[in-house]
Structure 1
Amino acid sequence: MVGGGLGPVNIIVSTLIEAENVLPLLLEYKNTGRAVNLLYGFPPTPGAVERLSLISKAIGPNGLSLLVDHPDQLSAVLAIHSNTSIAPQIFLKVDMGARRAGVVPQTEACSNLIASLLSLESAGKAHLLGLYAHAGQSYYGSRRSEALDFLRQEFEALLVTAEAVHSIAPSKHLILSVGATPTTTSIRNLLIDHEDAGAVPTEEGNAIAALRATIAAIQLQKCTIEIHAGVYPTLDLQQLSTHALPTEGPHAMLTWNDLALTIVAEVASIYPGRGVNGTLEALLGSGSLALGREPCKTYPGWGILTPWNRPGVKMPSTRPENYVGWQVGRISQEHGILVWSGEGEPEELSVGQKVRVWPNHACVAGAGFGWYLVVDETREGKEDEIIDVWPRWRGW
């Protein structure tokens, strides 16, 4: 994802174990002459100081970034500086309505925190690199226009905060970093608008125009825009359900074929007539430990069977909310119950049959496993051949 060449390598992690394991790769990039920066995407606590200090020492100046949203976190920032003699880079985390983390913009608390960070920068003990927002509430959207509007709101929350910074330090350059996966994904709508304006309905067109205006205002503030990563390299049913990009038609960019992560499981038992209206149910050897227990707003289940190893079954052609077929309808710790959703006659399943399940949330489902087995569906006749194994870093 960082690409080749000599450009910067900027990586965000959410746990210390991820930071420690990705460190050797960052050092490889650094040794080739690339600038590297690791953002620990959680406010620093006293218990994290020692491990973050070791990471900062290993990467060197300008290598470690931290999220801050409360003045009491600055003691950890100062402790890291004291341990390393390296000023940590700081992103001020801004709450733009998700109410998960962040300081609310245009409040006294925000103004005081900005002043404190700039004071630490003047003392050489930290460097305010930028502002950071994450629209977690964008997961509940169902239209392209909603995802685009959440992206605009992320930018606008950071824009007003940048103006507050510039009221104290007019020449201060800032990176404005935004993106939950639906908003990160939605920015590709601008490509459709550019290439084929006729393909953009009025609602989406208005949202795009508003977003472009906000981006222009940011550029006037001399700020750099950064779109940070989420689950979009793999995607999942939650993302498909946001419809942040076209899901059908000539400009489709978010489809069932784009869901990269699946969980392989075996059918363990069959229960004829036990389901709704006398339909078949089946016992699946994957439960909440394998699939997670995160719901998807468009259907009541915990995963949907892919067509893999199901002769005659094709890729779904409808939206998730209209899906007809096998889904994980009930779930326990180690197993799930496959139920038939919708009209039609359920296809037969057999004991021992291997199936693949699209999980609702790929991040949570992936955490149940020690590795990813990588296959390439474009290799005709070898679609199931494992071409790589990616270890998964679990824990904290």
Structure 2
Amino acid sequence: MATASFLPLPSKEILVKEFVGKSIKDVATPAAVLDLQKLKNNCSRMLDAVESLNCGWRAHIKTHKTTELTRLQVGDGPGPVNLIVSTIAEAENVLPLLLEYKSAGRVVNLLYGFPVTPSAVPRLTPIAAALGPHALTLLIDHPAQLLSVSSVQTPTSIFIKIDMGGNRAGVIPNTESCSQLISSVLALEATGKASLLGLYAHAGQSYAGDSQSAALDFLRQEFEALLLTSATLHSTTTSTGAHRTHPLVLSVGATPTTTSIRALLLSTTSLPPSAAQEVSALKATMRAIRDSGFLIEIHAGVYPVLDIQQLSTRALPSSQLSWADMALTIVAEIASLYPGRGARGSTEALLGAGTLALGREPCKAYPGWGILTPWNREDAGGGAEGYKGWIVGRTSQEHGVLTWGGEVGDEDVLVVGQKVRVWPNHACIAGVGFGWYLVVDGGDEIVDVWVRWRGW
């Protein structure tokens, strides 16, 4: 049985001795850098928002895959610790932290956020046993997956994944397939092998949004898809004579939609008319959910780190979500210069960071795979849209090509051997090629090293 133990991690102690106290200008490149204060601010804002709105909170940890940032996402205090992982390797590596929280008296729940398959059962079984009954939650969207659920020896919880338009995973509300799935789940629940925790939605399509009102509208759609499905669940429960012993949890979120909930804490008079209208509609939907006796849970993952993709959704105004909030940068080195090779005779530069360091995912806001940060350019504010300056305009495996988007002849000076910092489009992908993050705290000095978990 392949487990995370087959992918041993580097020693944090050795890495700390090697890097802490050095400048990120003096390390081998490419290197992934996280800014601690930005991470803390982003996590605190999210925790404060969900607490103020009296919502449950579930942190997704697949973006960073580290123990240290998981702690920041969870926060201090005696409250429940609800997490989501995308791989079993993440679950195996975060298990000691969850057991630590459990021993301290905090209620823990771990959601494996991918529809469960038969090959996952041997690795999920010891995790479920360690956490205890119903503390491991499994995601399903097809009745055939329930055989795998029942094969986990310790009773688990279940979230039914609802497709609210993203067409990636999930069952469509108000369909025969949805009704059949709910009936199958209730039948399994009656055996005591699992219990239905709730309904789960993720508006991945909200990444294509470009305004606060759009993010709020997607969030409302997430809630309404689950509310519609809950009606099917209620009618099925009634017809079968089943009796629910705990309130159903409706769990929603993608970073754009979850980020936008901060608008609910503001007076509608302080919001643009379109956003104010969406806030009113969203509040009405949330009231309907609570009036029906359901619990609201919010989930998100990339929000502590952020990236250009998230910035371009404009889920919050620039006064609340800006370049200054992005915590991940990739440090790379200029390897060569090519005067006159670029568009209109502009200069291009070879960067020692390509697809494996930055990712290959494009961003709708600009035609590139990364933007140089103020470490190497003047911070002119604004957004990625219409940005004029050095961007990673092309990539291959280890090569990145910097291209200039401004006036020819006005290129910011670059020299061979110069270290630069790049904001990537998608933090989740950009981190994959690195074994650890170098952590700074507002400056260039490395204050810690966080080891990333590897594998599936």
Is TM more than 0.5 here?
yes
Contact conserved, 2:439 with 2:449, CA < 8 A, in 1? yes
Amino acid at match of 1:357: V
Q: Tell me the equivalent position of 1:316.
A: 380
Match of 1:199 in 2: 270
1:316 positional shift: 3.4
Q: Is the 8 A contact 2:201 2:251 kept in 1?
A: yes
| Structure 2 CA distance for aligned equivalents of residues 163 and 32 of structure 1 | 38
Question: What secondary structure, in the 3-state scheme, does the structure 2 residue paired with 1:19 have?
Answer: helix
Q: Give, in angstroms, the shift of residue 157 of structure 1.
A: 0.3
Deviation at 1:198, TM superposition (A): 3.1
**8 Å CA contact 1:132, 1:178 repeated in 2:** yes
Number of the residue aligned with 1:280: 347
> Residues of 2 paired with 1:390 and 1:177: CA distance?
29
Q: CA offset at residue 239 of structure 1?
A: 0.4
C-alpha distance in 1 between matches for 2:296 and 2:441: 33
2-side partners of 1:204 and 1:329: how far apart?
34
CA contact (8 A) 2:269 2:276 kept: no
Corresponding residue for residue 369 of structure 2? 302
Of 190, 193, 196, the match for 1:128: 196
Contact 2:333 2:417 in 1 (8 A): yes
Once the two structures are superposed, residues 217-275 of structure 1 have per-residue CA deviations (whole angstroms, 9 ceiling, x without a partner) of 1011111111102200101000000000001xxxx111000111111100000111111
Further displaced range: 319-328 or 282-291: 319-328
Aligned pairs for 1:67-146 (under 5 A) are 67-80=139-152, 84=153, 86-146=154-214
Distance 1:5 1:148 in 2: 29
Q: CA deviation at 1:61?
A: 1.3
Specify the alignment match of 1:380 in structure 2: none
Partner deviation per Cα, 1:345-383 (whole Å, 9 max, x = no partner): 111101110111100000000111011111111xxxxx1
State the Cα distance separating 1:188 from its structure 2 match. 1.0
The alignment status of 1:268 with 2:338, answered yes or no, reads no
Q: Which runs of 5+ in 1 are unaligned?
A: 378-382
Q: Distance in 2 between matches of 1:20 and 1:316?
A: 44
Q: State the alpha-carbon separation in 2 of the partners of residues 10 and 319 from structure 1.
A: 33
Which string of whole-angstrom CA distances, capped at 9 and with x for unpartnered residues, describes residues 185-227 of structure 1? 11111123x3xx3331111111111111110110111111111
**How far apart, CA to CA, are the structure 1 residues paired with 2:380 and 2:395?**
23
| Per-residue deviation, residues 300-359 of structure 1 (Å, max 9, x unmatched) | 100000021x3xx33231121021110000111101100111336111101110111100
Q: CA RMSD in A?
A: 1.1
* Counterpart residue number, 2:78: 6
- CA deviation digits over 1:82-132, x for unaligned, max 9? xx2x21100000000000000000011111111111111111011000100
CA distance in structure 2 between the aligned counterparts of 1:150 and 1:355, rounded to whole angstroms: 36
Aligned counterparts of 1:236 and 1:55: Cα–Cα separation in 2 = 32
TM value normalised by structure 2:
0.81
Q: Deviations over 1:142-185 (max 9, x none)?
A: 11111100000000000011121122336631111111111111
1:327 corresponds in structure 2 to 391
User: Aligned equivalents of 1:245 and 1:212: distance in 2?
Assistant: 17
Between stretches 134-143 and 384-393, larger displacement belongs to: 384-393
| Kept in 2: contact 1:328–1:338 (CA 8 A) | yes
Report the TM-score, using the length of structure 1 for normalisation: 0.93
The aligned amino acid for 2:95 is L
Instruction: Verify: 1:384 aligned to 2:444, yes or no.
Output: yes
SS in 1 for 2:111: strand
Alignment partner of 2:251: what SS? strand
Q: Is the 1:179–1:230 contact (alpha carbons within 8 Å) kept by the matching residues of 2?
A: no
d(CA) in 1 for partners of 2:269 and 2:108? 41
The 5 A counterparts of 1:127-276 are 127-169=195-237, 172=244, 173-192=247-266, 194=267, 197-247=268-318, 252-276=319-343
Q: Is the 8 A contact 1:266 1:355 kept in 2?
A: yes
**More displaced, 182-191 or 260-269?**
182-191
Question: Quick check: 2:83–2:109 contact (8 Å CA) kept in 1?
Answer: yes
The total of aligned residue pairs comes to 377
What SS does the aligned partner of 1:324 have?
coil
Are 1:256 and 1:315, in contact at CA under 8 Å, matched by a contact in 2?
no
Which residue is 2:7 aligned to? none
Identity %: 65
Alignment pair present for 1:21 and 2:83: no
- Per the TM alignment, residue 390 of structure 1 is displaced from its structure 2 partner at its CA by 1.1
Q: Which of the numbers 38, 45, 53 marks the counterpart of 2:117?
A: 45
Question: Which one of 327, 335, 348 corresponds to residue 413 of structure 2?
Answer: 348
How far apart, in 1, do the equivalents of 2:300 and 2:450 lie? 19
User: Which runs of no fewer than 5 residues in structure 2 stay unpaired?
Assistant: 1-72
Higher mean alpha-carbon deviation, 150-159 vs 336-345, is at: 336-345
Aligned with 1:187: secondary structure?
A: helix
- What's the secondary structure of 1:188's corresponding residue? helix
Structure-1 separation of matches of 2:383 and 2:265: 23
- Correspondent of 2:434 among 342, 345, 369: 369
Runs (4+) of structure 1 exceeding 6 A deviation are none
Q: Which residue of 1 aligns with 2:103?
A: 31
Question: Whole-Å Cα distance in 2 between the matches of residues 198 and 323 of structure 1?
Answer: 32
For 1:321, what is the secondary structure of its paired residue?
A: coil
State the one-letter code of the partner of 1:368: G
Contact (CA 8 Å) 2:134, 2:194: kept in 1 or not? no
3-state DSSP class of the match of 2:401? strand
